[in-house]
Chain A
Amino acid sequence: DIVMTQTPLSSRVTPGQPASISCRSSQNLIYSGIADLSWLHQRPGQPPRLLIYRISDRFSGVPDRFSGSGTGTEFTLKISRVEAEDAGVYYCMQAAHFPYTFGQGTKLE
């Protein structure tokens, strides 16, 4: 199984400051030039919400302060200027190979 390792596991950021979360996969996720690596955000008591898919494509309605980047095994989610509503837990998820797997989650405060 592909193991997804996120760092840090928690982060406290002042509103207006940037934030960055890393996700490392135990295997290369790229096949045929694409990688099914996505980022989701979850607030307490809410279902996850898709932010980024295929490493760097922003889902409809997601603010442009969110951006994704990465290569075959190293991926990063960046928030250019954190807002209060960005608090919650962020997960990376790989859907390149079965079984699909999530990172452990990064709590952003």
Chain B
Amino acid sequence: EVQLVESGGGLIQPGGSLRLSCAASGFAVSRKYMIWARQAPGEGLEWVSVLYSGDKTDYADSVKGRFTVSRDDSENTLFLQMNSLRPEDTATYYCATSYITPGGFDYWGQGALVTVSS
């Protein structure tokens, strides 16, 4: 069964760092397109980053230079390292994969809430 479980969210002061994890089961993270998306409270979805075709990455302009996506194949886990956090980064962060649907993200985690506030 395909499952994604995020962890690592919490309350962090502006300028701080946090690392989110997305533990995958039922498939190999290294073999699939993986994305991070976020949703600010009461707002719509915003794409954050992608990891695909081995080690290729891309980022939304709003996080470029501050966030880094990576994976650990031994743990079958996707990570999002978030540095220089800002209040506007406050959101629920979701990881998702394109497991069997080309061009569509068919499995999503439950989300991890990140709150950036002093």
Task: Identify the A interface with B (CB < 8 A).
Answer: 1, 34-38, 40, 42, 47-50, 52-54, 57, 59-60, 89, 91, 93, 95-96, 98-105
Contact = CB atoms under 8 A, between A and B. Distances in A.
Contacts of A57: 101, 104
A38 B104 contact: yes
Contacts of B106: 50, 53, 59
A50 B102 CA distance: 12
Contacts of B37: 48, 102
Interface residues of B, number: 25
B44 A95 contact: no
A101 B47 contact: yes
Contacts of A60: 100
A104 B45 CA distance: 8
B103 A102 contact: no
Interface string B84-118: 00000000001010101111111011110000000
B1 interface: no
A105 B45 CA distance: 8
A47 B103 contact: no
14 contacts: A1-B61, A38-B105, A47-B111, A48-B94, A48-B108, A50-B105, A50-B106, A59-B101, A93-B45, A95-B103, A99-B58, A99-B60, A100-B47, A103-B44
A99 B61 contact: yes
B82 interface: no
Contacts of A98: 50, 58
B46 interface: yes
Interface string B25-64: 0000000000101000000111100100000001111000
